[in-house]
Amino acid sequence: MAGGSKKVVFAALGANLGIAAAKFVGAAMTGSSAMLSEAIHSVVDTGNQGLLLLGMKRSQRPADARHPFGYSREIYFWSFVVAVLLFAAGGGVAIYEGLHKIADPEPIENALVNYVILGVAVVMELSSFAVAYREFRDTNPNCSWWRAVREAKDPVTFVVLFEDTAALLGLVAALTGLSLAHLLGIPEFDGVASIVIGVILIVASSLLARETMGLIIGESALPSVLADIERLIRDGEGVAEVRDIASVHLGPHDIVVTAAVDFNDRLSAAEVERSVAAICAAVREAQADVRHLYLAPTSFA
């Protein structure tokens, strides 16, 4: 999945770099605040992809004495930073530009330039969106889109997917506002479009912040994963009962699992040790994301 996530990020990074440059040129030539807001949005998205790549690299660092469970959670932190930047630098600036344009409207010049640039931007954003959506659905094939987002433990793909969705909606708003301002001769529509773009970015960033915050706090493994782990523990030699299975994702592919296990009283201490070792090996073979499994032999009686 890490390779797939990087592919999604690099696809979005390449698209946003080209789009940002074209939008700034269009904004300079036409004086459109919606185009300027879109250009700033693309710059923010480009920076966000850089932060995601940074988080992916830093999260792969090995464990050390200060962080005995490793750095997997760094990808959650940087994904949350991306959500905050989308809100502040993207949404806030877009709304400010829109209000300024409404208060001091200026006629749109060379509107055809903006139409061409926005059209090209739509095509490039659609290509980036297609890569992100395909990767997202490949990893979540059997559930609804929103449920897949809620259950996802790797934030990289759905962060890029949210960004691309917000970008496409923003481009539609920019095209609509620009067209109305140009055709009707009412430049205030350009400012309104900029405000709409800001609202879209703020909504997207709020949803992203909520999802990534849950991952930072610590989310359990999926029920299907826990059910498989419980089955493997119960199949262990001499296991009489299993209770209190708990888990937490330290990263997209780094799960800690604990469980209380009651072994048959006829087993010796050496046999319990061998059974625990065999169970741990079976769980790690079946669920590669389980990096840490702790079984506490106990008596439920």
Q: How do the domains of the chain map onto residue ranges?
A: 2-217, 223-297
Higher-confidence residue: 232 or 155?
Answer: 232
CA dihedral 110, 113, 115, 121 (to 10 degrees): -150
CA distance between the termini of the chain = 43
Residue 104 has pLDDT above 60, yes or no: yes
CATH code of the domain occupying 2-217: 1.20.1510.10
* Nearest C-alpha neighbor of 214 from the set 83, 36, 18: 83
pTM of this structure = 0.79
CATH architecture of the region 223-297: 2-Layer Sandwich (3.30)
Higher-confidence residue: 255 or 207?
Answer: 255
Classify burial at 69, counting beta carbons within 10 Å of its beta carbon; exposed 0-12, middle 13-18, buried 19 or more: middle
Higher-confidence residue: 75 or 146?
Answer: 75
**Among all chains, which residue has been given the structure tokens 């050390």?**
64
Q: How far apart are CA 80 and CA 71, in angstroms?
A: 15
* Nearest C-alpha neighbor of 29 from the set 95, 115, 91, 151: 115
Token pair, residue 250, equals 């330290």
Residue 4 has pLDDT above 60, yes or no: no
* Nearest C-alpha neighbor of 120 from the set 7, 30, 35, 23: 23
Q: How far apart are CA 53 and CA 156, in angstroms?
A: 9
**What is the radius of gyration, based on Cα positions, of the chain?**
25
Higher-confidence residue: 34 or 69?
Answer: 69
pLDDT in tens, 212-229: 898 999 899 999 999 999
pLDDT in tens, 11-28: 888 888 888 888 888 888
Name every residue whose Cβ is closer than 8 Å to that of residue 109 and which is 6 or more positions away in sequence.
29, 30, 31
Q: Are 155 and 210 in contact (CB under 8 A)?
A: no
Q: How far apart are CA 59 and CA 76, in angstroms?
A: 9
pLDDT bracket for residue 2 (50, 70, 90): low
Handedness of CA 285, 288, 293, 295 (dihedral sign): negative
